[in-house]
Amino acid sequence: MGEVIVITSGKGGVGKTTTTANIGTGLATMGYKVVLVDTDIGLRNLDVVLGLENRIVYDIVDVTKGNCKLRQALIKDKRFEGLHLLPAAQTKDKTAVSPEEMKALCAELKRDFDYVIIDCPAGIEQGFKNAIAGAEKAIVVTTPEVSAVRDADRIIGLLEAAELYQPKLIINRLRPKMVKRGDMMSIEDIIDILAVELIGVVPEDEYIVVSTNRGEPAILDPNSRAGQAYRNIARRITGEEVPFLNLEEEEGFMSKLKKIIGLSR
Amino acid sequence: MLDFLLKIFGRDTESSKNVAKERLRLVLVHDRTSVSPQILEALKEDLIKVISDYMEIDEDALEVTFDRSEKSVALVASIPIKKVKRTAAVSKTVS
Ligand SMILES: Nc1ncnc2c1ncn2[C@@H]1O[C@H](COP(=O)(O)OP(=O)(O)O)[C@@H](O)[C@H]1O
Ligand SMILES: [Mg+2]
């Protein structure tokens, strides 16, 4: 019996889809059987981030409406043994699926997979309600910005109201340099405000853009710092204790030079 | 304009992170209190329990509200008293 985890945030564009793709790929490379469910109906994205957009035949609405068997709609990733995608429908809207249908779908998926990871749409309406309906655990993604943290707070309240207690937090797009000079809220600041447990911190990383261009999750690149962070998160999801990354960035040229000539420590 | 000059001359030492934190703190007090009226109900019940140890109050007329202003949120309680116990009769201090 697998575990159903929803990746949510409230605010759009904070990295839910990127996180879902990376964690899913990570868990699959660790040998687990994983299915990623895109519930962002009408704004399908997970397929392109994973590089599977050309293989879609059926989607989640086809499954819940009985147009096809669940098995037929699942896309098997040929690169990673164990990774599967259930794509969102692109031509329908979020009311095409009901929370009850999602519950039944998750229950069915959980029988065959170790991890069912649900990519939630932005917002707190029907799409959100669908995405969390069948979930047993939740991961909230935020960025170190006032608007994103505020929305995360609201989402945490709604998750608790839906009996999804103690969600875990991912802080995405952290820029250590900005934190250092006092222009970005730190990890501690955000944890202090939201009072939830941290499961990972993902730095801002250009490689995320490159990997999305290619349709190959950053977690596969040994040089990507975000990839490293996602590898750690995947391991933490399996229950392993992994120390947090030191996000101190490489020193800039000027500060190195100053040190050499004795202007600063 | 003064703000601007202070900034240029580096006297505005308040880092933007602290501004963000303070704004978030306040906005979340607003959000959390308006989103969850249950907080108020639970608080009312607890208040009645505590105060009843010391005085008899008019539970039905008890009013607890949040007073929101731009810079702060205050808890305002109006609790009509019916009878006050004589100091010696306050069981807690005796036992
Ligand atoms: N750690 C990161 N570093 C740089 N860019 C990122 C990072 N995380 C996400 N992005 C970019 O931010 C955008 C929004 O991410 P996405 O995962 O689609 O968010 P959501 O699903 O929450 O709307 C994408 O263009 C993505 O490439
Ligand atoms: Mg998305």
Q: Using an 8 Å Cβ cutoff, are A162 and A151 in contact?
A: no
pLDDT of residue B33: 83
B18 and A179 within 8 Å at the Cβ level: the answer is: no
d(CA A50, CA B51) in angstroms, rounded, equals 60
Nearest to A185 among B17, B28, B35 (CB): B17
pTM: 0.86
DSSP-assigned letter for residue B38: H
Cα A12–A13–A14 angle (5° rounding)? 95
Q: Where do the structural domains in chain B lie, given as residue ranges?
A: 1-35, 38-95
With a cut of 80, say whether residue B92 has pLDDT above it: no
Which residues in chain A have their CB less than 8 angstroms from residue B37's CB? none
For residues A52 and A80, the answer to whether their CB atoms sit within 8 Å is no
Query: Contact, A60 vs A41, CB < 8 A?
Result: yes
Contact A35, A113 (CB under 8 A): yes
Extents of the domains making up chain A: 3-264
SS3 track for A68-132: CCHHHHCEECCCCCCEEEECCCCCCCHHHCCHHHHHHHHHHHHHHCCEEEEECCCCCCHHHHHHH
Q: Which residues pair with B14 in a beta bridge?
A: none
Q: What is the pLDDT of residue B72?
A: 82
Taking chain B, what is the end-to-end CA distance rounded to the nearest angstrom? 64
Query: A43 near A165, Cβ under 8 Å?
Result: no
> Residue written as tokens 């880092």?
B15
If you measure from the C-alpha of residue A18 to the centroid of ligand 1, how many angstroms do you get, rounded to a whole number? 6
Residue B86: pLDDT band (50, 70, 90) is confident
pLDDT in tens, chain A (265 residues): 999 999 999 999 999 999 999 999 999 999 999 999 999 999 999 999 999 999 999 999 999 999 999 999 999 999 999 999 999 999 888 899 999 999 999 999 999 999 999 999 999 999 999 999 999 999 999 999 999 999 999 999 999 999 999 999 999 999 999 999 999 999 999 999 999 999 999 999 999 999 999 999 999 999 999 999 999 999 999 999 999 977 755 545 555 555 555 554 4
d(CA A167, CA A118): 14
Give residue-wise pLDDT tens across range B19-52: 999 999 999 998 888 877 788 888 899 999 999 9
Interface ipTM > 0.90: no
Copy the structure tokens of residue A163.
């009996």
Encoding tokens for residue B38?
A: 């249950």
pLDDT at B13: 62
Strand bridging mode A83-86 / A75-76: antiparallel
Answer yes or no: are the C-beta atoms of B51 and B78 closer than 8 Å: no
**A153·B23 Cβ contact <8 A:** no
Q: Which residues of A touch B24 (CB under 8 A)?
A: 146, 149-150, 185, 193
Q: Say yes or no: domain A3-264 is CATH 3.40.50.300.
A: yes
DSSP for B52-79 reads HTTEEE-GGG-EEEEEE-SS-EEEEEE-
